[in-house]
A and B are shown apart, each in its own frame.
Chain A
Amino acid sequence: MKVTFCTDLDKSVVVTNCEKRGWVQVGPEDDWNIYWAGTLTCKSLFSVDSGYRMSDAQIINHFPNHYEISRKDLLVKNIKRYRRELEKEGNVIAEKGDSKYLHLDFIPVTFVLPADYNMFVEEYRKSPQSTWIMKPCGRSQGSGIFLINKLSKLKKWSRDTKHIFQPQLAKESYVISRYIDNPLLIGGKKFDMRLYVLVTSFRPLKAYQFKHGFCRFCTVKYDSSVAELDNMYVHLTNVSVQKHGGEYNSIHGGKLSVQNLRLHLESTRGKEVTEKLFDQISWLIIHSLKAVQPVIASDRHCFECYGYDIIIDNKLKPWLIEVNASPSLTSTTANDRILKYKLLDNIFSIIVPPSGFPDTRWNKIPTKEAMKDFELLIDEEIIQNEDPETSEKYGAKYSSMYRWR
């Protein structure tokens, strides 16, 4: 019997990877074992009307309500709720100092508009000098984003797009976040990081972080002055934005590998601070996942690969900007293709049990070899069992995960 796969994305990286494993491509109506689907297909499969029931031998690449983490407004809501709950419990992780969370302050202050408008104004008044960034909740690739540095500008914008602040007519909600105006610059340019995280289960949480990733650079020197506020080539790192800039280079696509970023940081800033930065990044990924853990439908047929967008500020503190549930698998450069090919290969290696056949009854504990270039971030099942032998076997990474000081 051969493993069958199905995909509605025309991505060679998916198909070649599956075929390399000897899997046979079938249509959505046929018996498939693995479905690499777009979020819409996934949504309709899981909807009640479809009446589709998956068998134990079927797995799919999205959780039914992944938008709890991938929608900008919902992510913020979930993280806020998560913090409040931990605080209520009196958990040390939610410890506060100077009215800020000491360990959970990893997203820029954010409000959902129009709902939280009054709260935003209150926060705005505390430091009227700061710049804020407006992003439409449901869009991606940098579209519809703009910066504001005056309340009047926001008011003007709301007048121009009147319906926005009349919730009954609202077509599009926005999030407004404090803009990280002191980003870490390399060669004078701003960048963000794209990291990949694979989740194979939310309850218990099982998550893996891909060792490779890249930094996306702006093509234009960073300039926080007001005059450049509307120049999106300075502020937005999205490839889809930068591509249209005159300076875009299609050979490297403005992408530097995370390993090379690390080399540069360790060489110029030191080992300790660099390690702390990368530890903090793993920390924020884990807690962003824990924040949505109670609300995500942890269907055992599902796994999902998230693209994490992170900005590092000039104090080497990482900030979570957003989480993408269907990170681009399109390759802009040769190295990109190698990376994405490896990503898919390593994902399949983790989600398929040693037997080689997808099986939802499997305990989803891959061997260390099967993890390849993924590193275990957290596996609550292993932690719960606290078997020292297994913890050794699966690497020490997670055992230090609850070290918050």
Chain B
Amino acid sequence: MEELKDKGMPHTSQKICDSIQKHPSYIGFIEEVQKLVSSSNVSVNNFNETLMKAMREKGIECHMKNNVFHWVASNKKYKMDSPIVDLAFFKRAQVQWDKRIHKSLNSMCSELGITLARARSSQDREELSEKWGELSNYDIDVSKYRPVYAPKDFLEVLLHLKSPNCKVYDIDPNWEFAHLPIKVKDLPELRQHYGELSRGEQILGTHTYGTLFEAERIQIGERVLAQHYAPVAQEYLKRGCPKNLRSEMWSLVLGADINMIQSEYYESLKNHTLYYDLMIDKLIIKDIQLTASNDDQYFVFEDVLYQVMLCFMRDGDILKHISSQPGYMQVILKGKQPTSENTMTFPPSGVIPFHGFTMYAAPICYLFQDPLKLYYVFRAFYLRYWHRLHRVCGHEQGIVSICLLFERLLQKFEPALWHHFREISISPIKVVFKWLMRAFSGHLPPEQVLQLWDLVLAYDSLEVIALLAVIIMIFRKDNLLQVTTLTNIESVLADISSINVIPLLQMALLK
């Protein structure tokens, strides 16, 4: 909130008002208030007071507060400690990277003899529509498609980042991120940030506490949900969320309510999928096939993932909402006149999936039966957090900071291990990068991923992901110190299915 205070509250409130008024749900909101004003609960004599009271009773006040909360959460700007540092180079690097990916998309198209976008034939449209609920049976051959890039390619890009403020004389410049001028938290700061964990408070997810504690958490949780106030729900998540309340708690914290507008919008995305055949569809289908379909924890959700991901790929709101606007192309539909209605932003959402992108959505499938609710929670999660994990940015929560945080913590707390990696010239970040980029999804069992993501929401921060990666390495230190090749190191860390997230984090943060 610091940055909001800088320009003064009036400025911020004006901005919030403006943006809420532009929101599609605003009309409905005003109607509600108008209805209320004309009811007998509001009197002319004491207009202000009675209206406020009526709004409170009707839950409209809470609704408004939540809106403000969500606005602040998604428009947060972080203050950089060293304003002299020019962070524009991150932006330039992302633009370069976007260009490279787009180029690779185009060359894949010409190789395969296809176009980026075209209208579907009516026959294809019918088939797709008929099989919408079971898209795993939709007959499409994606065997020739390859993921555009994998985490390791992206890491390569990040390791080549060079800050104009800092000359690197290291002989091995692509080994670490230490030369980048970003400030990250140290352990005392993390302990302060994750207070509940570092104070050793009871948190759900540790086996030592019995059913009594869970029952207590459920009772409190139900009251939190009844109140329907997002900041309270966020606070609640800090001490762990019972499984049965998680879906609602997450929706509340993320502001992913569903009403007419949302379901109509989702329907329009579905229709867009039925009408337009995009090259990106095949990429995401391929990604689902490579990941979720082959995963014994997620294969049952294959069909719902197809629906959600296809819609996501053409959600233009995503492009608008991501602050560091992703690059995009303007594409003319195949065989159409180059008029404005035949021109499409490509990809419409600005998102080009990397190998494993589906894993941002897969764990959430455990929480919802309804694809619509799943869609909006996934989308909100993406807009608030995940997009920072696969884009070059200097943001405090961005992947570069997360990598740097991982390195600093490892170096400081296990210098022996750090030194060992130096000796064998293997960069520790290389080993854990896929965990970081996918926020551990697909690597930890679903319940553990969900508990980890509870903490992401609770503390509104991705730092916990870097912290967990460090702890897992330290946890396996003895085995790591005995091996000297990348393959062996990877096999030491290959199976982390026995990891318990909460107790490990607690152990590390406990003073």
Decide yes or no whether B78 CB sits under 8 A from chain A.
no
Q: Which residues of A contact B300 (CB under 8 A)?
A: 186-187, 189, 217, 256
Interface positions of B from 255 to 311, Cβ below 8 Å from A: 293-297, 299-304
Q: Which residue of B lies closest to A250 (CB)?
A: B294
Chain A window 208-249, contacts with chain B (Cβ cutoff 8 Å), 1 for yes, 0 for no: 000000000100010000000000000000000000000101
Given the interface pairs A187-B303, A247-B136, the reply to whether A266 lies near B296 with Cβ below 8 Å is no
B16 within 8 Å of A (CB atoms): no
Interface Cβ pair total, 8 Å cutoff: 71
Among A45-53, A267-275, A346-354, A365-373, the one that faces the other chain is: A267-275
The answer to the question of A183 belonging to the interface, with a C-beta cut-off of 8 Å to chain B, is: no
User: Using Cβ atoms and an 8 Å threshold, which residues of chain B touch A249?
Assistant: 293-294, 299
CB distance from A384 to the nearest CB of B (A): 28
Q: Which of A17-25, A172-180, A257-265 contacts B (4 or more CB under 8 A)?
A: A257-265
Contacts of A360 in B (CB 8 A): none
Q: Which residue of A lies closest to B218 (CB)?
A: A271
Tally B residues with Cβ within 8 Å of A. Answer: 29
B 343-377 to A, binary, CB cutoff 8 A, 1 in contact else 0: 00000000000000000000000111100000000
Query: Which of A187, A221, A256 is within 8 Å of B297, CB to CB?
Result: A256
B246 contacts A by Cβ under 8 Å: yes
With a cutoff of 8 Å between Cβ atoms, the chain B residues found around residue A256 in the complex are: 296-297, 299-300
Contact at A267–B134, with CB atoms within 8 Å? no
CB distance from B162 to the nearest CB of A (A): 41
How many whole Å from B446's CB to the nearest CB in chain A? 6
**Which positions 17-41 of chain B face chain A at CB distance < 8 Å?**
none
- In the bound assembly, the distance between CA atoms of A99 and B323 in angstroms comes to 66
B195 within 8 A of A: no
B447 within 8 A of A: yes
Beta-carbon contact of A251 and B243 below 8 Å: no
The answer to whether B299 and A268 have CB atoms under 8 Å apart is: no
Among B134, B300, B302, B369, max chain A CB count under 10 A is at B300
Which residue of the partner chain A has the closest CB to B214?
A: A271
Complex CA distance for A381 and B242, rounded to whole angstroms: 37
How far in angstroms is the closest Cβ of chain A from B73?
24
A337 within 8 A of B: no
B45 within 8 A of A: no
* Identity of the chain B residue whose Cβ is nearest the Cβ of A191 in the assembled complex: B300
Q: Is B133 a contact partner of A188 (Cβ separation < 8 A)?
A: yes
Task: Give chain A interface residues in 265-292, CB to chain B under 8 Å.
Answer: 266-268, 270-271, 274
B244 with A254: CB separation less than 8 A: no
Establish whether residues A266 and B244, one from each chain, have CB atoms under 8 Å apart when the complex forms. yes
A255 contacts chain B at the CB level, 8 A cutoff: yes
- Could you tell me the distance between the alpha carbons of A257 and B218 in the complex, rounded to whole angstroms? 25
- Nearest CB in chain B: distance from A340 CB, A: 15
Q: How far is the CB of B476 from chain A (nearest CB, A)?
A: 19
Cβ of B368 and Cβ of A268 under 8 Å apart? Answer: yes
Chain B 131-171 residues near chain A, CB threshold 8 A: 133-134, 136-137
Shortest Cβ gap from B506 to chain A (Å): 22
Asked if A252 is at the interface of the complex by the 8 Å CB criterion, the answer is yes
- The chain B residue sitting closest to A264, CB to CB, is B366
Say yes or no for A41: interface residue by CB 8 A criterion.
no
Tell me whether A263 and B296 are in contact in the complex, defined as CB-CB below 8 angstroms, given that A187-B303, A187-B304 are known contacts: no
| CB <8 Å contact, B297 and A267 | no
B244 cross-chain contacts in A, Cβ below 8 A:
266-267, 270-271, 274
CA of A253 to CA of B368, assembled, Å: 24
| A131 CB contacts on chain B under 8 angstroms | none
Q: When the two chains form their complex, are residues A187 and B295 in contact, meaning their CB atoms are under 8 A apart?
A: no
In angstroms, Cα B303 to Cα A260, docked, is: 18
Q: Does B115 contact A (CB under 8 A)?
A: no
Does A333 touch B at the CB level, under 8 Å? yes
A221, B134: Cβ atoms closer than 8 Å: yes
Inter-chain contact A263/B366, CB cutoff 8 Å: yes
Residue A149 interfacial (CB < 8 Å): no
With A256-B296, A260-B446, A268-B247 in contact, is A187–B242 under 8 Å at CB? no
| Nearest opposing residue in chain A for B370, CB measure | A268
| A65 interface hit (Cβ, 8 Å) | no
Q: Which residue of B lies closest to A189 (CB)?
A: B300
- Please report the C-alpha to C-alpha distance between residue A257 and residue B445 in the assembled complex, in whole angstroms: 11
A255 to B368, CA, bound (A): 20
Q: Which residue of A lies closest to B301 (CB)?
A: A187
Q: Return the chain B residue nearest A269 by Cβ.
A: B244
What are the residues of chain B within 8 A of A255 when measuring CB–CB?
A: 296
Question: For the complex, what is the distance from the CA of A257 to the CA of B300, rounded to whole Å?
Answer: 11
Known: A221-B134, A259-B447. A267 touches B366 (CB 8 A): yes
Contact of B296 among A189, A268, A271, A335 (CB under 8 A): A335
A188 in contact with B246 (CB, 8 Å):
no
Which residues of A have CB within 8 Å of B242?
A: 271
Q: Is A271 a contact of B299 with CB atoms below 8 Å?
A: no
Q: Is the CB of B368 within 8 A of A251?
A: no
Cα distance, A255 to B296, chains bound together (Å): 6
CB contacts under 8 Å to A, within B201-240, are 218
Contacts of B368 in A (CB 8 A): 268
Q: Find chain B residues with CB under 8 A from A263 CB.
A: 243, 366, 446-447, 450
Shortest Cβ distance from residue B451 to the other chain A in the assembled complex, whole angstroms: 11
User: Which residue on chain A has the smallest CB distance to residue B294?
Assistant: A251
Question: Are A221 and B133 in contact, with the CB atoms below 8 A?
Answer: yes
The residue on A at minimum CB distance from B297 is A260
Q: Determine if B299 and A252 form an interchain contact, defined as CB atoms under 8 angstroms apart.
A: yes
Contact present for A267 and B247 (CB under 8 Å): yes
Q: Which residue of A lies closest to B304 (CB)?
A: A187
- Chain A residue numbers with a CB within 8 Å of B450 are 263
Tell me if A267 and B296 are in contact (CB < 8 A).
Answer: no
Q: Mark B362-398, 1 if CB is under 8 A from A, else 0.
A: 0000111100000000000000000000000000000
Residues of B within 8 A of A274 (CB): 244
Judge whether A188 and B134 touch: CB under 8 Å: yes
The answer to whether A267 and B299 touch (CB under 8 A), given A249-B294, A252-B294, is no
Q: For the complex, what is the distance from the CA of A252 to the CA of B246, rounded to whole Å? A: 27
Q: How far is the CA of A255 from the CA of B134 in the complex (A)?
A: 19
Interface contact A266-B297, CB-CB below 8 Å: no
A142 to chain B, nearest CB (A): 20
- Give chain A residues whose Cβ lies under 8 Å from the Cβ of B246: 267
B457 to A: closest C-beta gap in Å: 15
A121–chain B nearest beta-carbon distance, Å: 38
A335–B296 alpha-carbon span in the complex (Å): 9
CA distance A397 to B300 in the complex (A): 31
Complex: A217 Cα to B369 Cα, angstroms:
17
A268/B369 in contact, CB under 8 A? yes
Residues of A within 8 A of B243 (CB): 263, 266-267, 271
User: How many Å from the CB of A257 to the closest CB on chain B?
Assistant: 7
Contacts of A189 in B (CB 8 A): 300
The minimal Cβ–Cβ distance linking A144 to chain B, given in whole angstroms, is: 28
Separation of A150 and B171 alpha carbons in the complex (Å): 81
Tell me, rounded to whole Å, the shortest Cβ–Cβ distance linking B220 to chain A: 14
A254 touches B299 (CB 8 A): yes
> Does the CB pair B304–A333 fall under 8 Å?
no
Q: Which 3 A-B pairs have the closest CB atoms?
A: A252-B296, A266-B243, A187-B300
Name 9 A/B residue pairs within 8 A (Cβ), A-sorted: A221-B303, A247-B136, A247-B137, A251-B294, A251-B295, A256-B296, A259-B447, A260-B297, A263-B447
Interfacial residues, chain B to chain A (CB-CB below 8 A):
133-134, 136-137, 218, 242-244, 246-247, 293-297, 299-304, 366-369, 445-447, 450
Given A221-B134, A249-B293, A267-B246, 9 other A-B residues pairs in contact with their CB atoms under 8 A? A187-B302, A188-B133, A188-B303, A217-B300, A249-B299, A251-B296, A256-B297, A260-B297, A268-B369
